[in-house]
Chains A and B, each alone.
Chain A
Amino acid sequence: MSATDRPESVPGNGVGERGGSLGRRLVAVVPRLLTLGLGFLFLWMGLAKALDPVGFLKLVRQYGVVEGPPWLNLLAACLPWFEAFCGALWMLGVAVRGTAAVLGVMLAAFTALVWRHALALQATTGLSFCQIRFDCGCGGGEVWICAKLAENGLLLLAAVFLLVHRPGGRGA
């Protein structure tokens, strides 16, 4: 493609330059906004759970993935702080892609667990799937399962975007 095919890049074409520059700036700023926003979310959710570790312990236990000490305790004690740690890294713009990989894997695993638990509740209660509401231990209290799955899907997409995107930030 020749330069004349791209008027926005022709020197002296003010409108085109401004448009291209704005677009580039937007492309550059979206990942940063994502890491700031999602980082804050993970930090907040992590701290909410870390400040009530007993409550989180009970909720982790309901999934029946691990039982008894030390694994159940370790999971309940450390996961909230780990989540907060990852959130802080994203907010600081440090190790963004590595953090995205870790959180992506964790999100996928938790989403599968929440889904499985909701199916079990549905089978027991006879409610339709989207009528199921319970505290999944995600940090925000009781949630409607369909809304939670949609939210996790979006978070997972964001994590994948940050993983494949090539940001210019530190540690990336």
Chain B
Amino acid sequence: MGKARPQSQPSSGTRRVSVVRQALLVGAFGWVFALVANTLSPRGLSLTRDYFPASPLPATGGIGQATAGAASAVETGALGAVDQKLQEHGLEPVTDERMHALFTDARYAQELVVFIDAREARRYQEGHIPGAYLFDRYRQDEFLPSVLPACQNAESVVVYCNGGDCEDSHFAALALRDAGVPADRLGVYSGGILSWQKRGYPMETGDRGSGMMVEGVGAP
């Protein structure tokens, strides 16, 4: 046996039990707090909704998010696979040139061609393709009522997000298809807003139709 401890000092075993008990309490209270906070938060997530139903994209493991040089080559290689996968889901991949042609088409002004921005509202406000509708698919109930009629009346609907391995445009296109927009009218702009901006095409900031235009950063 070791040295006798003063009675007022808890043994190391008692202290260990005390810490474990404290940790369990912190864990229990913490998770209850987190659940309540998520429920009360206006931005809280639904615990039961499948936000990524049957991913339309080949698994990339987040390759596009590694931002150093060599990753771009991998992204380029993956793009063909992405387009192929889109076609398998009955969605038309739309190139930069085609996207710009649609933008300058007279039908765009008549809303017979509709662009859908599938990013979050904050990104949309920072800059979007002029005239594009905002459709944050994670808050579908909020946006679908305004977006769906426009899509149903259009001859062509093109959905975009950031580009690269961003999947939101694909999921949004599938959500629109499930909501009743014919699949043969739906396309996905794989290059996304980054490619649009890089090419120097016009961008609009703020709300749809705000008229606040900014030029893209790249050469046209």
Interface residues of A (CB under 8 A from B): 50-55, 57, 61-62, 64, 68-70, 72-74, 76-82, 85-86, 89, 95, 97-99, 101-102, 117, 120-121, 124-127, 131-135, 142, 163, 166, 171
Contact = CB atoms under 8 A, between A and B. Distances in A.
Contact of B49 (A51, A69, A101): A69
A73 B43 contact: no
A81 B38 contact: yes
Interface SS, B side: helix
Given A62-B61, A82-B31, A102-B26, A73 B49 contact: yes
Contacts of B138: 54
Nearest to B9: A166
Given A50-B37, A81-B37, A124-B74, A74 B47 contact: yes
A76 B45 CA distance: 8
Contacts of A166: 15
B45 A121 contact: no
A125 B45 contact: no
A125 B74 contact: yes
Contacts of A68: 50, 52
A121 B61 contact: yes
Nearest to A52: B43
Nearest to A80: B34
B120 interface: yes
Contacts of A55: 120
A82 B30 CA distance: 5
Contacts of A76: 45
A81 B43 contact: no
Contacts of B63: 121, 124-125
Sort chain B's interface into a size bin. 35 or more
A163 to B, nearest CB: 7
A70 B22 CA distance: 27
Contacts of B70: 125-127
A171 B19 CA distance: 10
A99 B35 CA distance: 18
A64 B52 CA distance: 13
Interface in B1-22: 15, 18-22
Contacts of A132: 66, 68
Closest 6 CB pairs of A and B: A98-B22, A81-B34, A78-B34, A62-B62, A101-B23, A77-B45
Interface string B151-170: 00000000000000000000
7 contacts: A50-B37, A62-B61, A85-B34, A102-B30, A134-B67, A142-B65, A171-B22
A134 B41 CA distance: 28
B145 interface: no
